[in-house]
Structure 1
Amino acid sequence: MYHVMLVEDQEIVRQGLRMILEQDEQIRVSCEATNGMEAIEKMTAHRVDVIFMDIRMPDMNGIEATRKIKKQWPDVQILMLTTFNDDEYALDALNEGASGFLLKTSDGKKLIEAVYSVMKGGLVLHDEVTAKVMPRLLEQSNKAVATTDVDLTERERTITKLIGQGKTNKEIASELFLSVGTVKNHISAILQKVGLRDRTQLAIYALTHDIS
Structure 2
Amino acid sequence: MHQVLWRRPDVVVLDLRMPYVDGISAIRQLADVEAPPRMLALTTFDTDEYLFGALQAGASGFLLKDSDPELLLEAVRALHRGHGLVDPQVTTRLIHRFARLSPASATSAQQRLTTRELEVLRHLARGLSNADIAEALTIEEGTVKTHVANLLRKLGLPTRVHAVIYAYEHGLAPRYSDT
Shorter chain as denominator, the TM-score bin is 0.7 to 0.9
Distance 1:120 1:168 in 2: 13
What SS does structure 2 have at the residue aligned with 1:44?
A: helix
Distance 1:169-1:70 versus aligned 2 partners, 3 A rule: farther
Q: Is residue 185 of structure 1 aligned with residue 146 of structure 2?
A: no
Q: Is residue 57 of structure 1 aligned with residue 18 of structure 2?
A: yes
The answer to whether the 8 A contact 1:94-1:100 is kept is yes
Code of the aligned partner of 1:178: T
Measured against aligned partners, the alpha-carbon deviations of 1:15-69 in whole angstroms (never above 9, x if no partner) come to: xxxxxxxxxxxxxxxxxxxxxxxx2x11222030111110111210100000010
Distance 2:14 2:75 in 1: 13
Structure 2: any 5+ residue segments left out of the alignment? none
Normalised by the length of structure 1, the TM-score is 0.65
Q: Give runs of aligned pairs for residues 34-73 of structure 1, distance below 5 A.
A: 39=1, 41-73=2-34
Following superposition, the deviation at residue 206 of structure 1 comes to 3.3
Q: Is residue 100 of structure 1 aligned with residue 65 of structure 2?
A: no
Distance 1:50 1:97 in 2: 13
Code of the aligned partner of 2:8: R
Q: Which residue of 1 aligns with 2:39?
A: 78
For structure 1, which segment, 54-63 or 119-128, has the greater mean C-alpha deviation from structure 2 after superposition?
A: 119-128
Measured against aligned partners, the alpha-carbon deviations of 1:98-149 in whole angstroms (never above 9, x if no partner) come to: 1111111112211111112222333212222223232223345x46x32547
Q: Which residue of 2 aligns with 1:91?
A: 52
Following superposition, the deviation at residue 88 of structure 1 comes to 1.5
**Percent identity among equivalent residues?**
34
Distance 2:39 2:159 in 1: 14
The answer to whether the 8 A contact 2:16-2:41 is kept is yes
What SS does structure 1 have at the residue aligned with 2:6?
A: coil
Distance 1:210-1:42 versus aligned 2 partners, 3 A rule: closer
Normalised by the length of structure 2, the TM-score is 0.75
Q: Is residue 153 of structure 1 aligned with residue 114 of structure 2?
A: yes
Distance 1:58-1:164 versus aligned 2 partners, 3 A rule: same
Higher relative strand content: 1
Q: Which residue of 2 aligns with 1:4?
A: none
The answer to whether the 8 A contact 1:120-1:168 is kept is no
Code of the aligned partner of 1:185: N
The answer to whether the 8 A contact 2:78-2:84 is kept is yes
Higher relative helix content: 2
Distance 1:59-1:75 versus aligned 2 partners, 3 A rule: closer
Q: Which residue of 2 aligns with 1:164?
A: 125
What SS does structure 2 have at the residue aligned with 1:45?
A: helix
Code of the aligned partner of 2:150: N
Please say which structure displays the higher CA radius of gyration: 1
Count residues with an aligned counterpart: 167
The answer to whether the 8 A contact 1:172-1:183 is kept is no
Q: Is residue 111 of structure 1 aligned with residue 72 of structure 2?
A: yes
Q: Which residue of 2 aligns with 1:133?
A: 94
Code of the aligned partner of 2:87: H
